[in-house]
Amino acid sequence: MEILMSVVIGILFMVATYLILTKSLLRIVIGTGIISHAVHLLILTMAGVKTGSPPLLGEEAALYTDPLPQALILTAIVISFGVTGFFCVLAYRAYKELGTDDMDQLRGNEHE
Amino acid sequence: MNNLIVLPIVLPIMTGIILIFFSKHIVVQRWLSLISLLAFIGIASSIVQQVYTEGIQTLYMGGWLPPFGIVFVADMFASLLVLTSGIVALSCLWFSFRGIGLDREKYYYYPFFQFLLTGVSGSFLTGDIFNLFVFFEVMLISSYALIVLGATKIQLRETIKYLVVNIVSSALFVASVAYLYAITGTLNMADLSVRVAEVGQTGLLNVVALMFLIVFSLKAGLFLYFWLPGSYSAPPTSIAAIFAGLLTKVGIYALFRTFTLIFYHQPEVTHQIIGWMAGATMILGAIGAIAFSDVRQVLAYNVVIAVGFIVFGLAAHTTAAVEGAIFYLINDMIIKALLFLLGGAMIGIAGTSHLQKMGGLIKYHPVLGWMFFIAAIALAGVPPLSGFIGKLLIVQGGLTAEMYWLVGISLATSLIVLYSIMKVFMHGFWGETKLSPKEEKGSDKGLLAPCAVLVFLSFALGLGADFFYPYIEIAAETLMDPTIYIQAVLKE
């Protein structure tokens, strides 16, 4: 299972890198969304995918699943959700103000 | 256990939340944020004093003992930086009363300012590496909002780049935390240090260490600084000043924390690379500082040079070098904020940031001119101002560590720093006066007092070095000997 997950994470990173390197602003937004998604899956995989019973004291199991990665992912998801939301608004506003969503045209060195 | 430690985090965040409700009452917002910052400075200085007398202070959140719960740790290094950020923030806030403009004040400038401070002090005080990520994000999200506030074209353009760079580096941060957790099974920094020492820092852990190096270098502007000059020249003066004073410094703090506490076992791998990166940063920053004749760009490249110089102290990793790095870091927070504020006042008066288009400002603005001059020589490290002692100690440490090349580079770039700032001074303040008082685009009324606070502090740090030295010594001692930190947190 971990091997499969690792491959999936690798593909997600690949897709995200490709999207972030494209010209269109909207694709970059999606790319950043996918890269944070890949990272969340990475935390889950790194801690080992489900090896024991739920981490509750009454279960009296020999092996418990580590609850910490899920807490970490929850925090990271909230943060990346907020940042993606902000990025969407920023991209929209930038498109409105600058009249383009092409990263090549957003270069510019002139200082006002 | 010391509940005082959480106040530098709770106070700004509560103030920020309260300020949101007064978004249309600017006077209330100003007073509230000013009072809150004064209280912040008071608390921070009492924490410094407590750490000085009683040793490292810790706070276990919710009573969960480490390594299981989140722990806040105030050692001397962190608490000194919290205090300095409070003071720098106070000056920038005071400056923005006149410098930022009513529109921005109405659109939640002050709340974001407080949230930024929350993130900064949280990053300094936390003792848990994932919590460090969370506070980094608090700081970064507020900085995204601050940098784009006002939404001029140039701001929108630069924010997109800044945002993408930081999202990618944050993703890498979480990825390296995940790898670290897979190898060691803990996130508490003290516990991490113990476990890394047990298993030995080999192969995989070195890779993780280098991933952290990339992440924090991106945030600190060490070698990977390509985003910095653009982003720091886009926002208005007081925001650029607080960025220059605080944001990159948090990255430097994280570098110091991880590479003195956790990954210090193989300096011939990690610290060697850090050394090369520091050298490259200094050289490239110096080239940028000479090449541009735009006030903001010159100042932004000076931020880059200083980052390289401070991190060189880390790479040398001797007691003197680390002491010097801490001293120079504190000095640099003050001086960089001061220079950006003064540069902003200059641009405000001249109406342009291009050096060739301004001149002779000193005729009508002597105080501004001389303060800029003092800041310039303090930055370059002319005694008796504050930059000198830090520089001396770092160079001494570098010589002890036998890093002659890097010492040479750092001394040469010091000259270039002096040259580039003097270029700004001579073109901006000397020469033919191009604008009469009536033609000036703005005034410096009310802008000089906050700068004077920082000038005074710079003098105090330089002349009263004997008074500050014991604090720096304790901070460096904790950094050089991780067992002090570990024992204070884990209490074995």
Burial degree of B404 (CB within 10 A; 0-12, 13-18, 19+): exposed
Cα separation of B283 and B266, whole Å? 26
Longest dimension (CA), chain A: 67
The tens digit of pLDDT for each residue in B99-150 reads 888 888 888 999 999 999 999 999 999 999 999 999 999 999 999 999 999 8
- The token pair at B100 is 């930022």
Cβ neighbours of A36 in B, within 8 Å? 167, 170-171, 174
Beta pairing, strands B57-60 & B71-74: antiparallel
Residues of B with CB under 8 A from a CB of A: 130, 133-134, 137, 141, 144-145, 148, 151-154, 156-157, 159-161, 163-164, 167-168, 170-171, 174-175, 177-179, 181-182, 187, 233, 294, 296-297, 353-354
Nearest to B162 by CA among B246, B225, B214, B211: B225
Question: Quick one: how far is CA B19 from the chain centroid?
Answer: 25
Phi/psi of residue B178, each to 5°? -60, -45
Q: Is B382 helix (H, G, I), strand (E, B) or coil?
A: coil
Whether A81 shows a pLDDT value over 60: the answer reads yes
| Nearest-by-Cβ selection for A35 from B134, B148, B168 | B168
Whether B378 shows a pLDDT value over 60: the answer reads yes
pLDDT band, residue B64 (cuts 50/70/90):
confident
The CA angle B125-B270-B195, to the nearest 5 degrees, is 60
The pLDDT > 90 percentage for chain A reads 60
Residue with tokens 């970059």: A28
Between residues B381 and B96, the one the model is more confident about: B96
Cα separation of B51 and B113, whole Å? 27
Across the A/B interface, how many CB contacts are shorter than 8 Å? 96
Average pLDDT over residues B374-393: 85
Lowest mean pLDDT among B26-35, B248-257, B279-288, B357-366: B357-366
The CA angle B148-B447-B423, to the nearest 5 degrees, is 80
Cα separation of B403 and B405, whole Å? 6
End-to-end alpha-carbon separation of chain A, Å? 55
| Nearest-by-Cβ selection for A39 from B159, B164, B171 | B171
pLDDT band, residue A108 (cuts 50/70/90):
low
Average pLDDT over residues B250-279: 93
Lowest mean pLDDT among A80-89, B28-37, B304-313, B454-463: B454-463
pLDDT at site B386: 81
pLDDT band, residue A110 (cuts 50/70/90):
low
Between residues B67 and B107, the one the model is more confident about: B107
Cβ neighbours of A87 in B, within 8 Å? 163, 167
Chain A, window 85-104: residues with a beta carbon less than 8 angstroms from a chain B beta carbon: 86-87, 90-91, 93-94, 97-98
Handedness of CA B201, B204, B205, B209 (dihedral sign): positive
The pLDDT > 90 percentage for chain B reads 68
Nearest to B250 by CA among B286, B222, B285: B222
Cβ neighbours of A76 in B, within 8 Å? 133, 174
The pLDDT > 70 percentage for chain B reads 100
Cα separation of B164 and A29, whole Å? 9
Instruction: Provide the residue type at B149 as one letter.
Output: L
Average pLDDT over residues A71-86: 94
Average pLDDT over residues B66-79: 90
**Are B255 and B217 within 8 A, CB to CB?**
yes
Contact between chains at A47 and B181 (C-beta distance less than 8 A): yes
Question: Quick one: how far is CA B305 from the chain centroid?
Answer: 13
pLDDT at site B151: 85
pLDDT at site A112: 43
The tens digit of pLDDT for each residue in B403-460 reads 899 999 999 999 999 999 999 998 888 877 777 777 777 777 778 889 999 999 988 8
Question: Quick one: how far is CA B200 from the chain centroid?
Answer: 32
Whether B17 shows a pLDDT value over 90: the answer reads yes
Residue A53 pairs in a beta bridge with A64
Q: Report the mean per-residue pLDDT for chain B.
A: 91
A82 and chain B in contact, CB less than 8 A: yes
Cβ neighbours of B175 in A, within 8 Å? 39, 42
**Are B82 and B125 within 8 A, CB to CB?**
yes
Cβ neighbours of B348 in A, within 8 Å? none
Residues 6+ apart with CB under 8 A from B118: B9, B12, B13, B16, B135, B138, B139, B142
Kind and range of the H or E element at B59? strand B57-60
Residue with tokens 């003092």: B374
ipTM of the complex: 0.93
The pLDDT > 70 percentage for chain A reads 96
Min Cα–Cα distance to chain A from B326, Å: 31
Nearest to B295 by CA among A111, A104, A43, A34: A111
- The token pair at B274 is 């850090």
Instruction: Provide the residue type at B436 as one letter.
Output: S
The CA angle A53-A40-B262, to the nearest 5 degrees, is 90
Contact between chains at A39 and B178 (C-beta distance less than 8 A): yes
Whether B215 shows a pLDDT value over 70: the answer reads yes
| Nearest-by-Cβ selection for B167 from A32, A75, A108 | A32
Q: Is B446 helix (H, G, I), strand (E, B) or coil?
A: coil
